[in-house]
Amino acid sequence: MTRMSAPLLTAELLRRLEQFQLLAARRAKSSSRGERRSRARGQSVEFADHRNYVLGDDLRYLDWNLYGRLDRLFLKLYEEERELPVTLFLDASESMTFGEPRKFDFARQIAAAVGYVALCGFDRVRIRTFPEHAADAAYLGALRTVRGRKSALPYFQNLGHLTAGGSAQFNESLRRGALAAQQAGVAIVLSDMLDPDGYEEGLGALIGRGFQISVVQILSPEEINPATYGDLRLIDSESGGEQEVTFGKFRLKAYRQTVDNFCQRLREYCTARGISYFMSPSNASLEQLLLKQLREAEIWG
Amino acid sequence: MNFLEPMAFWFALALPVVVVFYLLKRKRVVKLISSTLLWQKFLAENQANAPFQKLRKNWLLLLQLLMLILVILALARPYFAGDAKQSRLRVLVLDASASMQATDVKPNRFESARAEAMKFVDGLRENDQMIVLQAGAITQVKQSATSEKAALRRAIEGAAPTDSITRLDEALRLAETLVKDQNDAEIHLFSDGAFPFPEGFETKSLPLVYHRIGTGAENAGITAMDVRANPDNPAQRAIFANIANVSSNAISARLDLTFNGQPVDLKAVTLPPRESSPQVFVVDQSVNGFFTLKLVVDDALAVDNEASVISLLPQPIKVLLASSGNRFLEKAIRAVPNVELSTTSDVRLGGSGFDVVVVDNIAPLEWPAANVLALNTWQTNWFDQVGRLEQPPIVDWKNTHPLLRFVNFQNVFVNESLAVKTPPWALPLVESPQTPLVLAGELNNQRIVWVGFDALQSTWPLRVSFPIFVANAIDWLNPATSRAELLSVQAGTPFRFRLDNAVNEAKVVLPDGSESELLINTNTTEILFDNTARRGLYRLKTATSEVAFTVNLLDSGETDISPRNELPFGKSGQTVATTVQQANLELWRWIALAGLAMLMFEWWFYHKRTA
């Protein structure tokens, strides 16, 4: 964790996170075995159903008790326990570098926590940043698929090495991420959602792929509550576009209203599509978000 | 609504400048932020919500333009002429006295007054009528009532300052008659207020507006000058002068005395602030000529720094004393220096050849043509009727008159006197409640001093004032004295001179060298010359003779150039100096106030947006 002065998550937090398990609303569709119930039938201890024996079935799964009672051959079916792919879409654009603490750092902490919970639950975790930086290629490669609790430490380390910069194309990145996923699963989108092109297309692509989506919108305190007054020429960190604004205390309320409106629209969009939506300032309490909000929203439990 | 300063509308050229300034965008603080998305939404939402959003963008500009317009309006000094002030006769009185030449305002007070008067003319309304008066020693009507501004300007342009004193009462009296019965007439006096305040105006409600000219009072000047025989040595001449310093600082100066242009004496003087100092020069004089005293000092007013006086060599005074016998009188006359006294007790005087005839207690058969000092005489045509009065008390005497100089009647008791009425030609010098006791005057070019009681029937000859009075009387009656007095006139006063021979033509050489032909009747013996506006030495030339006379300012009132803020007369007993036209309701203050309010609102508005 060379890029961060402090560990992403404290030991205490990690301990508390261990008790959680990601709650999947749907049966896992992964092809790999895991600890998730799936629709697939396979080998586990959970009985699912019976079916008629057909030639070639493994005789070990014959229900001999039933044969004794009915004199017919039935095969016991067990639920196959599969893994739950958890995809974290991490906004690593220039705009995430703002804020005190940085929005990107906050986003990585959430990513670490969600990843840790998933790894503890023997789920597959993958991180997709947008944009993808060539310098981070090695770490990103390692983060493409992480599985197993023992991978938690390298996962944290790699996550800590990630950098943010450049301009992101939110919609394009999410769309590509949706297409690239072999199995849909849980998708967590960590972003400020401040893309000039909007967020609808990208989120729509994830929905269409069947992801169970959570959006965590992270805004810097300055964005929520600007403290710079006067005649300003604001320069967009990503597009470089300029916006001239004359701003003062008297207009702060109107600005807050604008921010609220923006978040409310996003919330409504998400609610209407079954997406869990969270908004957090980057200086908010991480514990509050992880241990309370996500739990109450039944992202995990 | 009219404007006093329409030229101020040129400031409107500043309006586009403001727009240009506004177009040159305000310096903005550049700030890098994560995303301008929220700000764009913020601006979009707020502009969509706010009314007048198009104006809103230039709201500050509009405020600035509005403020500037107000300021320009204020500078243009608009006014509503009140309905009550519908009149519109203006009498403009331009003070052209000597003090208006003071240079405490550049170039001088008169030019400053002229400029203000011009402005005043500019401010006149179309149908306003105005009269231009120039007030000096004499009041001149420069322009009769007209509403033609060009003529008024010409008249004001044609006015010129004089070296004379201010006789404002004359101008005010004239102005008063002009504005009488006029509904809303006003007299506008452009003056420094440096003049003796005219009497009789305190209670009159003159619609007077006083435009004060001038600021300072740094001046010293000669306020009096006279030449006499030296009392200690009659062969010498003594020049008396009074130098006044009206400024609040002590002034060091030099006095140069010249005789016929040749320097004869000089003296350094230091004048304490606001004090005057008498100066005496004693010089020998061998020929008739004129003394010029010059005060070399750097002050605001130059006119009063030089004075000239004609000095003629003293001639013996031939005095005839016709008396029934009065040793006191005879002794007193003999004590007068330079007197050749003849005495007679004959009633047939035959007083020709004498300069002064003293008639004491007798009734001459024929009155002499020479100047007369008459004591206890009533057989004349001077009075309508003559009575008698027992022990008249002396209640008043005019010791400002040259005849009563150093004369005191405090311990004088008169046993019996004549009772007369003061004739119009004479001035009562000593008075009892019932009758004048001493009269002096000039009747048909003959100077007369009349004493209405027998000196021997009073305690007067025993008092020291008696010989002084006799000496004063001989001096005053001496034709040489009166002639010398005639030869020195105050600027603006006409010069009168009686010639020995009748002439048909005469001309006067003015101090600047130009000549002025006199229009006189044929065979006249009296010359009257009134173009004495300028100080200096004048020469009257006739076919047979040449007489020099001097014109001087010699007035302490004009030397004291400090401008007065208040005049003790006018509408309500006094008139305070004004700088604006009281007649008009000026609006510029309110507009300037509105401009200020606008500025403050703009400031608040700006801060509302930024702070």
Which residues in B lie closer than 8 A to residue A96 (C-beta atoms)?
34
Q: For B31, which of A94, A194, A232 is closest by C-beta distance?
A: A232
In this structure, what token pair is assigned to residue B88? 């519109």
Minimum CA–CA partner of A235 in chain B: B32
Q: Left, alpha or beta for B181 (phi > 0: left; psi -120 to 50: alpha)?
A: left
User: What pLDDT is recorded for position B287?
Assistant: 85
CB contact under 8 A, A248 and B608: yes
Closest approach of chain B CAs to the CA of A161, in angstroms? 22
Suggest the residue from A94, A234, A255 to mutate for an interface test with chain B (most B CBs closer than 10 A): A234
**Residue in A255, A269, A136 with CA at minimum distance from that of residue A200:** A269
Angle, alpha carbons A269-A275-A278 (nearest 5°)? 85
Q: 0.90 exceeded by the pTM? A: no
B417 vs A197: CA distance, rounded Å: 129
In this structure, what token pair is assigned to residue B568? 């003790």
Burial label for B192, CB within 10 Å (0-12, 13-18, 19+), is buried
Which residues in B lie closer than 8 A to residue A104 (C-beta atoms)?
none
User: What pLDDT is recorded for position A261?
Assistant: 92
Q: For B39, which of A96, A243, A261 is closest by C-beta distance?
A: A243
Core vs surface per residue B158-189: b (16+ CB within 10 A) or e: ebebbbbbbbbbbbbbbbbebbeebeebbbbb
CB contact under 8 A, A246 and B610: yes
Is B18 in contact with B68 (CB distance < 8 Å)? yes
B435 vs B112: CA distance, rounded Å: 52
B33 interfaces chain A, CB cutoff of 8 Å: yes
B520 or B190, which is more confident: B190
Minimum CA–CA partner of B57 in chain A: A246
CB contact under 8 A, A258 and B41: yes
Which residues in B lie closer than 8 A to residue A105 (C-beta atoms)?
none
Minimum CA–CA partner of B49 in chain A: A254
3-state secondary structure chain A: CCCCCCCCCCHHHHHHHCCCCECCCCCECCCCEEEEEEEEEEEEEEEEEEEECCCCCCHHHECHHHHHHHCCCEEEEEEEEECCEEEEEEECCHHHHCCCCCHHHHHHHHHHHHHHHHHHCCCEEEEEEECCCHHHHHHHHHHCCEECHHHHHHHHHHHHHCCCCCCCCHHHHHHHHHHHCCCCCEEEEEECCCCCCCCHHHHHHHHHHCCEEEEEEEECHHHHCCCCCEEEEEEECCCCCEEEEEECHHHHHHHHHHHHHHHHHHHHHHHHCCCEEEEEECCCCHHHHHHHHHHHCCCEC
CB contact under 8 A, B45 and A261: yes
Q: What is the DSSP letter of B458?
A: B
**Residue in B380, B347, B352, B383 with CA at minimum distance from that of residue B368:** B352
For the segment B310-323, the average pLDDT, to the nearest whole number, is: 85
User: What pLDDT is recorded for position A90?
Assistant: 92
Give the pairing of strands B416-419 and B387-390: antiparallel
User: What pLDDT is recorded for position B12?
Assistant: 83
Q: Is the preceding omega at residue A101 within 30 degrees of 0, hence cis?
A: yes
pLDDT at B410 over 80: yes
Which residues in A lie closer than 8 A to residue B41 (C-beta atoms)?
258, 261-262
Residues of chain A falling short of pLDDT 70 = 1-6, 25-43, 45, 81
Q: B43: Cβ–Cβ under 8 A, 6 or more apart, which residues?
A: A243, A245
Q: A221: Cβ–Cβ under 8 A, 6 or more apart, which residues?
A: A99, A100, A281, A282, A283
Minimum CA–CA partner of A219 in chain B: B34
Closest approach of chain A CAs to the CA of B40, in angstroms? 7
CB contact under 8 A, B29 and A235: no
Which residues in A lie closer than 8 A to residue B29 (C-beta atoms)?
228, 230-233
> What is the per-residue pLDDT across B337-362, written as a single tens digit (0 to 9) for each?
888 888 888 777 666 788 888 988 88
Lateral strand order in the sheet of B275-284: B220-229, B236-245, B275-284
> What is the per-residue pLDDT across B205-237, written as a single tens digit (0 to 9) for each?
778 888 888 887 788 899 888 888 887 777 788
How many Cβ pairs closer than 8 A exist between chain A and B?
A: 107
Q: B365: Cβ–Cβ under 8 A, 6 or more apart, which residues?
A: B347, B348, B349
CB contact under 8 A, A236 and B35: yes
Angle, alpha carbons B605-A223-A132 (nearest 5°)? 145
CB contact under 8 A, A194 and B27: no
User: What pLDDT is recorded for position A1?
Assistant: 37
Q: For A246, which of B33, B37, B609 is closest by C-beta distance?
A: B609
In this structure, what token pair is assigned to residue A104? 């990107």
Suggest the residue from A229, A250, A258, A266 to mutate for an interface test with chain B (most B CBs closer than 10 A): A258
CB contact under 8 A, A250 and B609: yes
The letter for the amino acid at B6 is: P
pLDDT at B476 over 60: yes
B47 interfaces chain A, CB cutoff of 8 Å: no
What's the half-sphere exposure (Cβ side, CA atoms, 13 Å) at B598? 19
Closest approach of chain B CAs to the CA of A167, in angstroms? 11
Suggest the residue from B35, B45, B47, B605 to mutate for an interface test with chain A (most A CBs closer than 10 A): B35
B354 vs B368: CA distance, rounded Å: 9
Is B166 in contact with B157 (CB distance < 8 Å)? no
B269 vs B418: CA distance, rounded Å: 51
Closest approach of chain B CAs to the CA of A43, in angstroms? 51
For the segment B506-523, the average pLDDT, to the nearest whole number, is: 83
B170 vs B166: CA distance, rounded Å: 9
Suggest the residue from A97, A169, A228, A236 to mutate for an interface test with chain B (most B CBs closer than 10 A): A236
B593 vs B119: CA distance, rounded Å: 25
Which residues in B lie closer than 8 A to residue A192 (C-beta atoms)?
34-35
Q: Is the preceding omega at residue B107 within 30 degrees of 0, hence cis?
A: yes
Minimum CA–CA partner of A233 in chain B: B30
Q: Which helix (H) or strand (E) holds B253?
A: strand B251-259
Minimum CA–CA partner of A197 in chain B: B37
> What is the per-residue pLDDT across B55-92, written as a single tens digit (0 to 9) for each?
455 677 788 888 888 888 888 877 776 544 455 788 88
Using 50, 70 and 90 to split pLDDT, how confident is the model at B580? very low
B38 interfaces chain A, CB cutoff of 8 Å: yes
> What is the per-residue pLDDT across B285-307, written as a single tens digit (0 to 9) for each?
888 888 999 999 888 888 889 99
Is B458 in contact with B474 (CB distance < 8 Å)? no
**Residue in B163, B158, B153, B156 with CA at minimum distance from that of residue B113:** B156
The neighbour count for residue B501, using CB atoms within 10 Å, is 10
Alpha-carbon separation of residue B80 from B2, B209, B584 (angstroms): 7, 19, 6
B24 interfaces chain A, CB cutoff of 8 Å: no
B270 or B81, which is more confident: B270
